[in-house]
Structure 1
Amino acid sequence: MNCVKLFLCGDVMLGRGIDQILPHPNRPHLFEPYMRSARDYVSLAEAKNGPLPECVPFGYVWGDALPELQRMCPAARIINLETAVTSSEDASPRKGIHYRMHPANAPVLSAAKIDCCALANNHVLDWGYRGLKETLNALRSAGIHTAGAGQDDIEAGAPALIELAGGGRVMIFAFATECSGVGADWAADRGRPGVNRLSDLSPDTVCTIAAQVRAVRQAADVVIVSIHWGENFDFDIPASQRYFAHELIDSAGVDLIHGHSSHHVKGIELYRGKLVLYGAGDFINDYEGIAGQEAFRSDLALMYFPTLDLETGTLAELSMTPMQTHHFQINRAPDEGIRWLHETLNRESQPLGATVERSGNDTLVLRAGA
């Protein structure tokens, strides 16, 4: 079997407090109802867990993820970057929260050798069209592929293409939905920058995506749809999302659904041998010290390492490494965190026909069947 191993994770949020401890922080002012400075998020984290270092190395936030990536050696590394990479001051007036990381801090992404950033989400335009343009330029200069946002609808809809050393490609299409907070005014259009936004999850939308996939797909391509959808802090998976995921696999030839937005892990499904991550959760954020949603454990995260058959796109194996954010750094989760992730994934995945086992090296492995 000719296989490819990938790395996927959920939301990587490098703005606000995290940007402030990096070597080149933006001006810290915010326009949030309760926070007026990004430094306040640093203070919240310090109040909970003690002093944070300043001017950290670019690899700092990745912590134990770096040796784990080296150990697993994935052929492509794909994240949802939920932060504008900009110093723009054009804060979106309709937004209550604005994420940005200074472009000079873009080596944070290079430190983890990220190959592709999905940008179809509800924060990439937080700092306006100028902020989006600067984000695209900063990532392009770093040699990082993007999908899901662009200077017009053609660029926003184009897939990222990652060439594999042994032949074949990983093809990533990225989309955002209104229910994740992306309004129609953020949709890319002819001559208008923006996000690759889906107006609905209807059969017509599936047909449109299927045509886009057929137009560019070649033999031995693995097709991923990275999609920002759903409410925050909610384990429920609407029937509309399951229908859409299944139709993308059945009708559009998609091999893997990379869902995100919820800020916590959600159930996993193996549908006709194809992997569906309904919610990959947060991976890096500055929520440390923020109270109110502790039951959803947004401090806990997973590194997803799916191995796919290049000929069929079916899942050969899914290994997941439990992680936890502490001091704005992602490290191996403690035992209680691993137990919580294990129990939560089983509770949410078993109704979808999948179970998760804990292996001897404290990773989690997906099994088909209840």
Structure 2
Amino acid sequence: MINLLFSGDFVPPDEANETAGADFSSIRELIEGSDLHITNLESPLTSSGEALIKTGPSIKASPRGVEYLKMTKVGLACLANNHIFDYGEGGLKETIEICEGNGIRVTGIISGDYLNRRSVIIEIKGVRIGFLNYCEHEFSVRERGMTGAYGFDYIDAFNDIRALERMTDRIIVLYHGGNEYYHLPRPDLKRDFHFIADLGADAVIGHHTHVFSGIEIYDGKPLVYSLGNFFFLPFEEEPESWHEGILCRLSIGESVSAELIPVIQCKNGLRVEFPAEERSKEILSEIRFLSEVISDAAELQRRWELYTSTAGTGLANQILYPSRADKLMLRIPWL
């Protein structure tokens, strides 16, 4: 049996000289019991001070931030996300060099030259596992022939998976997308996950939204729609959901199965830990609720339309997600 551990958004603090204060001891046994830890490295590791001109924040970490990845035994860093190009091609190149110089493989970058890392194959216990990493199209995705994050495209996904099928025993796709702070996938995102699974991926793991979502078993394949944050200090005061993420332990044998494990991150300093038992049970219950919604196409569509009609008011997630606003959804069952 092969055990893969997937974590969500990972952003080391920009000044990474305080790693002695970081505490991952609560999840140490889980990490060390895994054959490979895969994370989404949300920020470049760079000494550059020249941010790309774009909308939204530009984030980065010091090159010493790699020490945080090493502390959590990250073996594969996913770079296809909306911030990896915040400091341009130079920042991206530096990130790849730092990661690979410290024994951390990378995926999710497309380029016409030696920087190309669109996929990676890692052999574990004699099983060849192919990893593909895509993201939705934002500023980090460049025009074809240029270096940048690997944006999702139906034809590319078809060709990528067909090519990997000839060289691997299993294929895992990491997808960076969704709507921030929304606990459910858009209906079209669910369709994309199904499409990827239909092409031949054995599992699809999502991140980007900064909150956890549900899981769907589609044709026997785990589709995890969002892991939330793994290690990401808030920019400012953030909702409680910012600090609550999930780890996904994917077990690969004759079949592929997934276990979701709640964690609390950066709520009490630079620490990732398990929630108190009662809160852990609540999170798992909330994940089951979200999973039930995801499995019901009509209900998922209804909630998406409600979300889009109230987005920006602060009301949407209070209505759509049962653990917020004193579980408003459960108290008003006709919503």
TM-score, L = length of structure 1:
0.73
Checking the alignment, whether the CA contact within 8 Å between 1:13 and 1:284 is kept in structure 2 is yes
Question: Deviation at 1:268?
Answer: 0.8
- Which of the numbers 3, 8, 18 marks the counterpart of 2:6? 8
Residue 288 of structure 2 corresponds to 346
Checking the alignment, whether the CA contact within 8 Å between 1:188 and 1:197 is kept in structure 2 is no
Q: Superposed, which structure 2 residues align to 1:358-369 within 5 Å?
A: none
Residues 97/318 of structure 1: CA separation in 2 closer, same or farther (3 Å cut): same
Asked if residue 266 in structure 1 is aligned to residue 210 in structure 2, the reply is no
TM-score, L = length of structure 2:
0.81
Residues 317/266 of structure 1: CA separation in 2 closer, same or farther (3 Å cut): closer
Q: Number of aligned residue pairs: give it.
A: 295
Asked if residue 257 in structure 1 is aligned to residue 212 in structure 2, the reply is no
Asked if residue 323 in structure 1 is aligned to residue 264 in structure 2, the reply is yes
**What is the rounded CA distance, in whole Å, between the counterparts of 1:126 and 1:61 in structure 2?**
28
Q: Superposed, which structure 2 residues align to 1:178-217 within 5 Å?
A: 178=137, 182-183=138-139, 186-187=141-142, 189-190=144-145, 192-198=146-152, 205=154, 207-217=155-165
Residue 303 of structure 1 corresponds to 247
Secondary structure (helix, strand or coil) at the match of 1:100 reads coil
2:221 aligned partner, one-letter code: K
Higher relative contact order (CA 8 A, sep 6+): 1
Checking the alignment, whether the CA contact within 8 Å between 1:133 and 1:151 is kept in structure 2 is no
The superposition leaves residues 162-205 of structure 1 with CA deviations (integer Å, 9 ceiling, x where unpaired) of 111x2122211111113xxx13x732532x21111125xxxxx1
- Which of the numbers 277, 291, 300 marks the counterpart of 2:237? 291
Secondary structure (helix, strand or coil) at the match of 1:115 reads strand
**What is the rounded CA distance, in whole Å, between the counterparts of 1:258 and 1:130 in structure 2?**
28
Residues 156/175 of structure 1: CA separation in 2 closer, same or farther (3 Å cut): farther
Checking the alignment, whether the CA contact within 8 Å between 1:156 and 1:195 is kept in structure 2 is no
**What is the rounded CA distance, in whole Å, between the counterparts of 1:146 and 1:248 in structure 2?**
21
1:177 aligned partner, one-letter code: E
Asked if residue 337 in structure 1 is aligned to residue 279 in structure 2, the reply is yes
Checking the alignment, whether the CA contact within 8 Å between 2:244 and 2:264 is kept in structure 1 is yes
Structure 2 stretches of 5 or more lacking a match? 297-335
Structure 1 stretches of 5 or more lacking a match? 24-54, 200-204, 355-370
Q: Over aligned residue pairs, what C-alpha RMSD do you find?
A: 2.3
Q: Superposed, which structure 2 residues align to 1:164-243 within 5 Å?
A: 164=124, 166-178=125-137, 182-183=138-139, 186-187=141-142, 189-190=144-145, 192-198=146-152, 205=154, 207-218=155-166, 221-243=169-191
2:251 aligned partner, one-letter code: T
Q: Superposed, which structure 2 residues align to 1:74-223 within 5 Å?
A: 74-152=34-112, 155-156=115-116, 158-164=118-124, 166-178=125-137, 182-183=138-139, 186-187=141-142, 189-190=144-145, 192-198=146-152, 205=154, 207-218=155-166, 221-223=169-171
**What is the rounded CA distance, in whole Å, between the counterparts of 1:89 and 1:149 in structure 2?**
22
Deviating 4+ runs (over 3 angstroms): 150-157, 321-324
